[in-house]
Amino acid sequence: MSRPLPWHEEVYRQLRQAHAQRPAHALLLSCPAGHGGSTFARALAMRQLCRGDAATACGVCRSCQLVQAGTHPDHLLLQPEEPEAPIKVDAVRKVVAFLGQKAQFSGWRVVLIDPAERMNVQAANALLKTLEEPGEQVLLLLVSERPGELLATLRSRCQLWPLPRASFAQAEAWLAALGAGAQAQPSLRLARSAPLRAQMLAETAWPQRLATIVSDLQSLLDGHREVLNVAAQWKSWGEPLILADILAQWVEDLMSRHVRRTTGLHHPEFSMAYDRMLSGLDAAKLHGVWQKLITLTRDLAGNVQLQLWLETLALDIARLSRRGGSR
């Protein structure tokens, strides 16, 4: 993408202006998940290598075309080889070798590391010397959702540019322009207002599944559904991380309703259903279920047996009920 997303346009302008006055060799772009940090960095990298002179990359020159194709000789993208995998020291050594070569196009060499927090300690330490002596016309872009996880010595060698979240209105307008229509709002609520995640959800069946999930939860609490049947249905949908986050939102909404909060709910349309659930529920156990849900990423990385995990989760939810729904 040759342009930043609408909610990043102002900070993009400020960054480009600052870079023109005093070029930086390393930028740490901090952005919450799902709000377009990677898009911003790619737009910035393309602009740095673009042969045009507009504020953003032209997208049509030879240089831009090569960046988009992933074949520009002066651009290196460093990412984990697999989802959730670390970036290892051998990958960073490729960065060092790349920067040791002469530029073939505009004179600039651009390295994009995304997400930077995935570098293990050895990889981060290997990058430090490059950050200290990057060479002429070198730009390193580090994208991070969690910059606090980076080595302090690495952070100190970069200019930090926090990128803002999209407001709900900005995200909804952006999704509507993409044709999300009536799915824009429910998708944004499911995505915790993160527009890029909402875009993905709007293209799937997850917004329509929300009512089914709430019905499943009520049935588990009432003892009207077999735990094994519910777990099997949830597994058949795939994407367990999406399911886990939706269930975490449900727990958070229940905890809010338990203390009589009426604002800030993820899914206020289910307030009456939440109150019915709470009438027969041991609210003290909710936090334990929530903790289990937020550890799913770690559990999956450990090759957890998903069917068994979902069965145990469904059973834990059923046992929240004082009505004894634990089949």
The total of structural domains in the chain comes to: 3
Residues 148 and 283 in one domain: no
Q: How confident is the model at residue 297 (pLDDT cuts 50, 70, 90)?
A: low
Q: Which of 162, 186, 218 represents a domain boundary (last residue)?
A: 162
Q: Same structural domain for residues 83 and 213? A: no
At residue 108, the pLDDT reads 93
Confidence of residue 302 (pLDDT cuts 50, 70, 90): low
pLDDT beyond 60 at 141: yes
User: Do 190 and 247 share a structural domain?
Assistant: no
Mean pLDDT of 52-80: 94
SS3 291: helix
**Do residues 104 and 10 both lie within one domain?**
yes
On the question of pLDDT at 255 being above 60, the answer is yes
Instruction: Note the maximum CA span of the chain.
Output: 72
Q: Give me the domain span that covers residue 146.
A: 6-162
Q: Shortest CA distance to 37 belongs to which of 120, 219, 211, 161?
A: 161
Give 29-61 pLDDT, tens digit per residue.
Answer: 999 999 999 999 999 999 999 999 899 999 999
For position 29, what pLDDT does the model report? 98
pLDDT greater at residue 84 or residue 130: 130
pLDDT in tens, 152-164: 999 999 999 999 9
Q: Which residues of 192-219 are buried (b: 16+ CB within 10 A; e: fewer)?
A: bbbbbbbbbbbebebbebbeebbebbbb
Kindly tell me the sign of the dihedral angle through the C-alpha atoms of 219, 224, 230, 231.
Answer: positive
Residue 306: per-residue pLDDT: 87
Query: Do 63 and 104 fall within a single domain?
Result: yes
Instruction: Please check the confidence at residue 94 and state whether its pLDDT lies above 60.
Output: yes
Tokens standing for residue 324: 């004894």
Q: Does residue 149 lie in a domain region?
A: yes
Query: b/e map of 72-98 (b: 16 or more CB within 10 Å)?
Result: bebbbbbbeeeeeebbbbebbeebeeb
What's 284's DSSP letter?
Answer: G
Residue 216 CA to residue 157 CA, distance in Å, equals 51
Query: Do 155 and 12 have their domain in common?
Result: yes
pLDDT in tens, 175-223: 999 998 888 999 999 999 999 999 999 999 999 999 999 999 999 999 9
Token pair recorded at residue 229? 């049947």
E strand or H helix at 209 = helix 206-222
Residue 152 one-letter amino acid = A
The pLDDT value given to residue 303: 58
- What would the mean pLDDT of 322-326 be, rounded to a whole number? 55
Predicted confidence at residue 300, as pLDDT, reads 67
Same domain, 47 and 141: yes
- Give me the CATH number covering residue 128: 3.40.50.300
Given a contact cutoff of 8 angstroms between Cβ atoms, the answer to whether 26 and 140 are in contact is yes
Rounded mean pLDDT of 259-287? 92
Domain end point (choices 140, 162, 184): 162
**Rg of the chain over all Cα atoms, to the nearest angstrom:** 23
Q: How far is CA 69 from CA 77, 97, 165, 238, in A?
A: 12, 21, 28, 31
- Are 241 and 249 in contact by the 8 Å Cβ rule? The answer is no
Give the tokens for residue 145: 């959702």
The residue behind tokens 């984990």 is 80
Query: What sign does the CA torsion over 59, 113, 238, 276 have?
Result: negative
Residue 189 in contact with residue 267, Cβ under 8 Å?
yes
Look over the chain and give the mean of its residue pLDDT values, rounded to a whole number: 92
Q: What is the mean pLDDT of residues 90-107?
A: 90
